[in-house]
Amino acid sequence: MEKIDGDLNKKAAGEKAVEFIKDGMVLGLGSGSTVYWTLKKLGELVEQGLNVKGIPSSKRTEGWAKDFNIPLTDFSQVQSMDLAIDGADEIDKDFNLTKGGGGSLVREKIVDANSQKLIIVADQSKLVSQLGKFPLPVEVLPFGWEVTARKISEMGATPVLREREGSVFVSNNGNYILDCDFNLIADPGLLHKELKQLLGVVETGLFINITDTIIISGDKGIEVLHKKK
């Protein structure tokens, strides 16, 4: 069995999110070690009779959902979900996010953006005043990735091809990830748009303006923050 980050704040935030799940909902199932705790708790509720279905945002999440007997569906059955619950690598004061530390950013963005509501679960270390300390994950096509990386470096970043255990990391979509240190990101929306215009870029880990609620666990206990409309 895979070893999961047992950080108590991740566990607390992840578990809290199930309070927002209602019977009959179709859910977007995010990725990462905080969402793992959401899935585990959700499995207990399913066992007690809660009727939900989920679309997983990664193969890892799909595996966990199956382990916890959470019924799954896909985009051939439903095009819009009631609620997505996902993790993040950084969260700024405007609820914009950096995601993709685990390499699941493309499927996460498709799932999160097609949900009526997005709840982000995280420990307090993820809160930042400005995005950018965590190098921005950018998913790129393997073909010509060297050119794409050079174009990104001309935008002021230092892209590093992600590797795991000595091999190039390959995403669930068969692509590569460039971890791009832009230093602090002054305008995340603009940077996302500029990166998306580069040939070879599939998607960026900047999630702008799609988060409704953040569940943070830390020194002050669990806080539920709603975005002001």
Ligand X SMILES: O=C[C@H](O)[C@H](O)[C@H](O)COP(=O)(O)O
**Choices 19-27, 30-38, 77-85, 175-183 (CB under 6 A): range interacting with ligand X:** 30-38
Q: What are phi and psi of 67, to 5 degrees?
A: -60, -35
Tell me: is residue 186 an annotated ligand-binding position: no
**Choices 76-84, 96-104, 167-175, 193-201 (CB under 6 A): range interacting with ligand X:** 96-104
Under DSSP, the state recorded for 6 is -
Q: CB burial class (10 A; 0-12, 13-18, 19+) of residue 198?
A: middle
Is 44 a catalytic site residue?
no
Site for ligand X (CB under 6 A): which residue of 9, 17, 28, 33?
33
Tell me: is residue 101 an annotated ligand-binding position: yes
Angle (deg, nearest 10), helices 8-16 and 33-47 = 50
Please identify which of the residues 62, 90, 108, 139 carries the catalytic annotation: 108
* Nearest of 6, 17, 203 to residue 100 by alpha carbon: 203
Residue bearing tokens 């585990």: 40
Q: Residue type at 102?
A: G
Q: Note whether 56 binds ligand X by CB under 6 A.
A: no
Site for ligand X (CB under 6 A): which residue of 42, 55, 105, 118?
105
Q: Least CB distance from residue 122 to ligand X, whole Å?
A: 7
Q: Note whether 101 binds ligand X by CB under 6 A.
A: yes
**Strand ranges (DSSP E) for the chain?**
26-29, 53-56, 83-86, 90-91, 97-98, 118-123, 136-140, 158-161, 163-164, 167-168, 176-181, 201-204, 206-207, 213-218, 221-226
Tell me: is residue 86 an annotated ligand-binding position: yes
Residue among 26 and 88 whose Cβ is closer to ligand X: 88
Q: Residue type at 195?
A: L
Tell me: is residue 58 an annotated ligand-binding position: no
Residue among 63 and 156 whose Cβ is closer to ligand X: 63
Site for ligand X (CB under 6 A): which residue of 103, 135, 188, 200?
103
Residue among 53 and 109 whose Cβ is closer to ligand X: 109
Residue among 82 and 108 whose Cβ is closer to ligand X: 108
Distances (CA, A) of 184 to 88, 109, 224: 17, 22, 26
The binding site for ligand X (CB under 6 A) comprises 10, 30-34, 86-89, 99-105, 108
Annotated binding site for substrate: 31-34, 86-89, 99-102, 126
Catalytic residues, by residue number, are: 108
